[in-house]
Amino acid sequence: MTAEITTKKSRDSKPIWFIRKGELDTAGLESGMLAWAKANGFEGQAGRVLTIAGDNGEIAGALFGLGKDENRLAAGKLATTLPDGAWHIAGAINEPDLAALGFLLGGYKFTRYTKKDKTSISLALPEGADKADVKRLAKAVTLARDLINTPTNDMGPEALEAAVQEVADEHKASVNVIKGGALKKNFPMIHAVGRAGSEEPRLIDLQWGKKNAPKVTLVGKGVCFDTGGLDIKPASSMLLMKKDMGGAANVLALAQLIMEAKLPVRLRLLIPAVENSIAANAFRPSDVLTSRKGLTVEIGNTDAEGRLVLADALALADEEEPELLIDMATLTGAARVALGPDLPPFYSNDDAFASEVAASATAVSDPVWRMPLWAPYDAKLSSRVADMNNVTTDGFAGSITAALFLQRFVSKAKIWAHFDIFGWNPVEKPHSPIGGEAQAIRTLYHLLKQRYPAN
């Protein structure tokens, strides 16, 4: 399906009335429409669409139910339930930007390996909505979804590098890549995790913006497939491991948003891209790795590889003392046990920034939840033979201890935040089909626009 937002209402555009449950009689409908709605049992039920026939039997419009507790992206349902053609929203609505964005996101389909859907539907830009920003956000979410949905045979480290380069070329950003044996000296943990993969591990480094602008650095976990390594996952746990580069996909999409909006920042994007595979040269349980920062790490489990590659990238990012350092990763199953797939936890060393994140998440309906960097748990990462272990032994508080592990590699950045995202939507929603998902990037984009308004 092709869902589009048009600037103006066309002559043949048909109206859609948004109706809250229980407010049908006060919605200002003509008597014939009202009678039709009641005859069909339409009461404004959430997500229900009822088409209205005109005098000649043609479709003349539609009613859309919002329910009692309005889903602010509910308009995504319209993209998959309305007949083809041009539509517009009748009257003014609350949060027109979210309605328009929901419509575009709801029309998303991953069609790389299937026949293209030839159906087409358009919605006139709701009054008060910012078309440029809505389309920018939809483009970024689509990028993240497409990258995550693509299987590893077509989205390994090489393809992920190419995706970064494509975004960089569009915005005249520079890209530097260190890969293979060249990683050994300065990025030994990235090399160790990825050396058994069929494609060389690499650190992808994109930079954009004026050098004297505030430094904003994004780091994303780019594990293009995770077998678990020698601590191999069961088959059922590998089925979604193409999405283990979801952190990289999301920070790349956020970087695209920043560059397209021309925010006045010095942007740096770092993606350690690897496969955690099994081969004779795979890293092993009980190995001790020396990180870029100089800290030694005992490997308690090779399936806790994401934090290793992130640690080397974070150490590099931290050396520049950025004003803001954000990392995103599909890091722990513990985060999903704690908060489920739809509510990513985040951690920050700055209370004021965390409050900004929470406010932005509410403003744009892109939920996140702050979790504590609980210092007493840091001791659980101790090792008898190295500075630290990459896992704990008791299995408790896995998302928190993973964040504490990463925190050890950040000391100079003014503000640091870690987002432990799922990167996947397991249940269809009005604005999102089952599959790869962008999480927290709309929140962060909203925050960055407020912190660094475009000139």
Tell me which residues are annotated as active site: 233, 307
Alpha carbon distance 368, 360 (integer Å): 10
Alpha carbon distance 283, 287 (integer Å): 7
The alpha carbon of residue 93 and the mean position of all alpha carbons in its chain are separated, in whole angstroms, by: 27
DSSP per-residue letters across 209-240:
S-TTSPEEEEEE-EEEEE--TTSPPPHHHHTT
**320: which DSSP letter?**
T
Please state whether beta strands 202-208 and 266-276 pair in parallel, antiparallel, or not at all (unpaired): antiparallel
Helix, strand, or coil (residue 326): strand
Nearest to 424 by CA among 246, 228, 160, 218: 246
Contacts of 329 (CB under 8 A, 6+ apart): 220, 221, 246, 247, 306, 307, 310, 418, 419, 420, 421
Nearest to 123 by CA among 9, 293, 20, 223: 9
Helix, strand, or coil (residue 242): helix
